[in-house]
Amino acid sequence: MTTSATLQEKLSRLGIRNELDLVLHLPLRYEDETHLFPIRDAPHGPMVQVEGDIVHTEVVMRPKRQLVCRIEDSSGDLTIRFLNFYASQIKILATEKRVRLLGEIRTGFYGAEMVHPKYRIVRIGEALAEAMTPVYPVTAGLTQRTLSKLIRQALTELQQQLLSETLPDSIRQHYDLAGFHQSLLYLHFPPPEAPVKALQARTHPAWRRIKFDELLAQQLSMRFHYRQRRKRTAPALSQRQCLVRQFLSRLDFTLTDAQQKACDEIARDLALPYPMQRLLQGDVGSGKTIVAAIAALQAIENGYQAAFMAPTEILAEQHQQKLSCWFEPLGIRVAWLTGSQRKKNKKAVLTEVALGAAPLVIGTHAIFQDQVIFQRLGLIIIDEQHRFGVQQRLALRMKATQSDQVPHQLMMTATPIPRTLSMSYFADLDISVIDKPPPGRSPVITKLIASNRRNEVIERIQHACRLGKQVYWVCPLIEESEVLQLQAAQETYETLRTVFPELSLGLLHGRLPPPEKNDVMTRFKQGEIQLLVATTVIEVGVDVPNASLMVIENAEHMGLSQLHQLRGRVGRGTEASICILMFQQPLSEVSRKRLKIIFEHTDGFEIARQDLLLRGPGELLGARQSGIPMLRFADLERDVDLIAAAQMVANELLDAYPEMAQQHMARWLGDKSEFLRV
């Protein structure tokens, strides 16, 4: 692709670096310049093309300066308006000229009118376009005309093998897929008879082929690296079950069917001689930690160590306290490792870990620092895995001291993943799902209350505390500045101390020194603190069954996943709990939709599905998306049948047509799939 440096820079902004990128830069929409409507018969609303003589042109001030023209044909007249225009346009659109317009006709101040139509001066009888006109995504300084010319040139010059078929005829016929090269030509140069609705809606067979190929490339990449990982060796941790039976016998409850199923899936994987890469997903409070604990026991019983990593010190400490209560009666030492530990304590823990005296190590990101050396690491458990970057997770996996082995990896998330997202972006993982909460938990009642009804909220808090219950007050999320968020929390704390002089209040935020955080949480758990004012630091892991009321201030600024996670901090006992979402009016349309969803749904999987519809996959994937090629053409909701087909075809290609599979990945991904090696 011979272009100037300036043009190359503009193209690179669109992700275009070569001819193949150019031909895969497909239209956003199409303009139909193949048909001409008489003005009187042109429908209002859709994009239409009309033509007529300019009979009047003037600049008016109603209410702002604008250029107004009136055109006529034999059937009627039409007004066109330009709110922003150049002096040269006044001359171009002079009377007695003939103009062809493309735009939407609406009823306005002047009757039927087009505002800012696409236009050009023509002669009577001038030929119409022979094909639909594609409209491409562009960037500043790059015109549609220039881009169209480059794409046409690339399609002409590109070597035939680069556009050759990457699907066997048998697969194309089975799934009724159009040819790849023909589909590209059709989408770039649709004929006059092309069905406009199908092209615009991206349901035309040519679009379906392109979307299928994009999804197939994603599936191939995921499954290829899944298979590559299975060629590596990991310790085969047999299901001895002695420690697990002892552990379960000491519990005062039994596992749910969903928990037992997840345990069985994980146990089978751990017994295999290649590394498990499993994601355990379950809604807030579904009991993932006990499943992870049983997996850790399987590793420990086989003479290996397990590392349990959490994203925050509060969550890590919650796990440390819970697992210590479970494991130490079994004679298992649980080590605790965080960045804030004193040097002397940390050194002692590092020695224990290196000697293998600590079979289970729990901590934050401090676990994967260079000075942490495991004697025999067999299993890594990562809680809230989306909060860790790809490189952080890789660093921990490299802690295995046996150079020829890698540890098994169990990742957990309390952010349920919609089915279509797990089918596409998590196809490189095995997934276990806990879809039912433990028995005895009452659903949380969600209430939406405008901030001008604050007095009602205060009365509810007083009532709950009189009954001996505890309350969370979550301060607004201020993303622009952690300092501002801290300030808001402190101000809220001081205000509420004045409002509730009879209550014992506590303050918790991310800037508190770890000993103070621990002290506040301990006092809250023990019931000494009745009302805990906190930032969103309590979003995950905090477990206080006596807390039955939560107030979330400025809830309209928070995402659905975060609101659902916060709400999960109450309702952890047997009594009904309430979560009050306070909001400022007026609400934006997006905020209104978010609050409606969280109000109407308590099922995290449905909330996640609605969130996917609102935001798309990019924001939902979190740190995992670092390096992931996002889908440009396929839609996870509308094209679920294509995702399922791509899953089937990916395995068939890798098994029977490996060269075609590699060619297909190279075409669509280039080097963008390298991140999947982790």
Judge whether 676 lies within some domain: no
Residues 62 and 90 in one domain: yes
Residues 250 and 117 in one domain: no
Of 601, 627, 642, which residue sits at a domain end?
A: 601
Judge whether 80 lies within some domain: yes
Distance in angstroms (rounded) separating the CA atoms of residues 367 and 496: 38
Domain with 549 in it = 444-601
Q: What is the H or E stretch that residue 647 is in?
A: helix 640-656
Residues 525 and 459 in one domain: yes
Counting Cβ atoms within 10 Å, is residue 584 exposed (0-12), middle (13-18) or buried (19+)?
middle
Judge whether 657 lies within some domain: no
The CATH number that applies at residue 491 is 3.40.50.300
pLDDT at 625: 46
Residues 150 and 97 in one domain: no
Helix spans in 68-168 (H): 87-92, 144-157
Of 78, 101, 128, which residue sits at a domain end?
A: 128
The mean pLDDT values, 10 residues at a time, for the chain of 678 residues are: 79 89 92 91 92 94 88 94 90 91 91 93 90 89 90 84 88 96 94 87 96 94 86 90 90 90 96 93 86 96 93 83 92 88 85 91 84 90 66 56 78 82 83 81 86 91 92 74 66 90 89 82 90 78 82 88 86 83 90 92 85 72 53 89 94 95 90 43
Residues 171 and 102 in one domain: no
Q: Note whether 212 and 177 are within 8 A (CB).
A: yes
Helix axis angle, 288-301 to 313-327, nearest 10°: 60
pLDDT at 316: 85
Whole-angstrom Cα Rg for the chain: 31
pLDDT tens digits for range 349-379: 889 989 989 999 998 888 877 788 899 999 9
Distance in angstroms (rounded) separating the CA atoms of residues 578 and 550: 6
Residues 94 and 164 in one domain: no
Residues 24 and 48 in one domain: no
Residues 561 and 505 in one domain: yes
The CATH number that applies at residue 40 is 2.40.50.140
pLDDT at 675: 37
Residues 171 and 253 in one domain: no
Is pTM beyond 0.85? Reply is: no
Counting every residue, how long is the chain? 678
Identify whether 273 is preceded by a cis peptide bond (ω within 30 of 0): no
Residues 322 and 173 in one domain: no
Distance in angstroms (rounded) separating the CA atoms of residues 126 and 275: 68
Total Cβ atoms within 10 A of residue 591: 16
The single residue listed with the structure tokens 């892991």 is: 541
pLDDT at 401: 52
Of 128, 147, 173, which residue sits at a domain end?
A: 128
Helix spans in 282-364 (H): 288-301, 313-327, 343-355
Residues 72 and 155 in one domain: no
Judge whether 528 lies within some domain: yes
Judge whether 234 lies within some domain: no
- How many structural domains compose the chain? 4
pLDDT at 676: 39
Beta-carbon contacts of 158 under 8 Å, excluding residues fewer than 6 positions away, are 19, 20, 23
Judge whether 544 lies within some domain: yes
Distance of CA 279 to the CA centre of its chain: 16
Total Cβ atoms within 10 A of residue 125: 5
The single residue listed with the structure tokens 């930690």 is: 289
Judge whether 153 lies within some domain: yes
Distance in angstroms (rounded) separating the CA atoms of residues 319 and 360: 11
The single residue listed with the structure tokens 């310790």 is: 235
Beta-carbon contacts of 498 under 8 Å, excluding residues fewer than 6 positions away, are none
Judge whether 507 lies within some domain: yes
Residues 368 and 506 in one domain: no
